[in-house]
Amino acid sequence: NAVDASNFRLHCTPAINLFPRRGDRIHLHPGIAEHHVLADRTRPMDFEIHGVEQVEGFGDGNAPMQRFEPSYGAQPRSWHERRSAFYALRRQPRRLSTGQRRTGPRSSYVGSEVFLSLVDGEQAPYSHQLRQLGMQLWCSNRDLPLHMPVGKSSTDFMLDEGGPVASIRCVAGPTRPRSGVTAGDTRWRLISHLQLNYLSLLDAGDDGATALREMLTLYHDPHDAAARRQVDGVRRIASRPIVRRIPVPGPATYGRGLEITLTCDDAAFEGQGVYLLASVLRHVFARQASLNSFTETVLCTLERNEVARWPAHLGNRPIL
């Protein structure tokens, strides 16, 4: 696990498979409320919709007649301004075509599809005389990068515009794409995490550790076995009230806070160590403590007992 010169490369940068693209026009017909968003209907498997940047409605001419805003977007507007043209998006896993069901997909990643509907300010179907919709999209190439012939030609990438570059090599990857579709209660868990109650993490018994593991699960790849093992390696979390000197300028000041003891299994963090995780959680705990309190995090392991103890960290959660 030693780090040496072979672990570093100069003149490297991440290459993200995300780019803007004008989507295919959607022809509007009476009685159809939801429309399939496609970047290129001649090659639907080579593009996946990441997001919709802009939606415009067209009539018989080439000039847009109506611009639509995202239904749940935070768009700046004045108090007297009324807008009545919005679009809503729905994403669902892509269904296999007849040919894919017969011969199988080209990879294990199928991806998702996006559907768009037009609504007014009351979330009712938008009444219009439009004929087409034009869209500016953000797209990826779905699973197409997995089939790149990396290292088999003079360069792995081509520049859109000319430049003094002889070749561009792929050092690592490409990584497997990940679907943006979440199932079950994941969305609700993410929403509830926006207003985290740290007291639930410090419940007596195993409930606190269970709540902390569920929170950490939101931040790791569900297909990453090593990350799953590390989350399961968080065994216990406990707290007790303490009195410490508060690290503030001026005369000596003492206050009450919480000592939070995090116990982990060293075997679950083999090759990486648990110190980094505890260092990050120390700041998470402080963000949930009030301004007039503090947290003091202690890291223990099943094998070595107390490993690290951080000084008191003032809470930075504002009080309204």
Phi, psi of 12 (to 5 degrees): -115, 155
Q: Mapping DSSP to helix (H, G, I), strand (E, B) and coil, where does residue 154 land?
A: coil
**CA torsion, ordered 169, 175, 179, 185, to nearest 10 deg:** -140
Residue 183 in this model has a pLDDT that exceeds 70: no
Confidence of residue 254 (pLDDT cuts 50, 70, 90): confident
Cβ atoms of 244 and 257 within 8 Å: the answer is: yes
Bridge pairing between strands 86-93 and 64-70: parallel
Residue 25 in this model has a pLDDT that exceeds 60: yes
The overall average pLDDT reported for the chain is: 85
Bridge partners of 22, per DSSP, are 136
When pLDDT is averaged across residues 10-35 and rounded to a whole number, the result is 92
When pLDDT is averaged across residues 214-234 and rounded to a whole number, the result is 87
Ranking 21-25, 87-91, 179-183 by mean pLDDT, the lowest is: 179-183
Residue 200 in this model has a pLDDT that exceeds 70: no
When pLDDT is averaged across residues 240-263 and rounded to a whole number, the result is 87
Q: Mapping DSSP to helix (H, G, I), strand (E, B) and coil, where does residue 283 land?
A: helix
When pLDDT is averaged across residues 15-35 and rounded to a whole number, the result is 92
Confidence of residue 48 (pLDDT cuts 50, 70, 90): very high
Domain boundaries, the chain: 19-145, 186-314
Is it true that the peptide bond before 174 is cis, omega within 30 degrees of 0?
yes
Q: How far is CA 23 from the centre of its chain?
A: 24
* pLDDT reported for residue 121: 74
Confidence of residue 2 (pLDDT cuts 50, 70, 90): confident
Confidence of residue 113 (pLDDT cuts 50, 70, 90): very high
DSSP 8-state code for residue 289: S
Q: How far is CA 194 from the centre of its chain?
A: 14
* pLDDT reported for residue 198: 59
Phi, psi of 20 (to 5 degrees): -80, 150
Confidence of residue 308 (pLDDT cuts 50, 70, 90): very high
Of 176 and 47, which is predicted with more confidence?
Answer: 47
- Cβ-proximal residues to 286 (8 Å cutoff; 6+ apart), any chain: 294, 295, 313, 314, 315, 316
When pLDDT is averaged across residues 205-211 and rounded to a whole number, the result is 81
- Cβ-proximal residues to 307 (8 Å cutoff; 6+ apart), any chain: 274, 275, 299, 300, 301
DSSP 8-state code for residue 78: -
* pLDDT reported for residue 16: 92
* pLDDT reported for residue 75: 64
When pLDDT is averaged across residues 72-99 and rounded to a whole number, the result is 76
Q: Give the span between the Cα atoms of 232 and 229, in whole angstroms.
A: 5
Q: Mapping DSSP to helix (H, G, I), strand (E, B) and coil, where does residue 270 land?
A: coil
Confidence of residue 60 (pLDDT cuts 50, 70, 90): confident
Q: Give the span between the Cα atoms of 131 and 23, in whole angstroms.
A: 16
What the block records as the tokens of 161 is: 């515009």
Phi, psi of 117 (to 5 degrees): -135, 150
What the block records as the tokens of 62 is: 């080439």
CA-nearest of 220, 53, 50 to 142 is: 50
* pLDDT reported for residue 193: 72
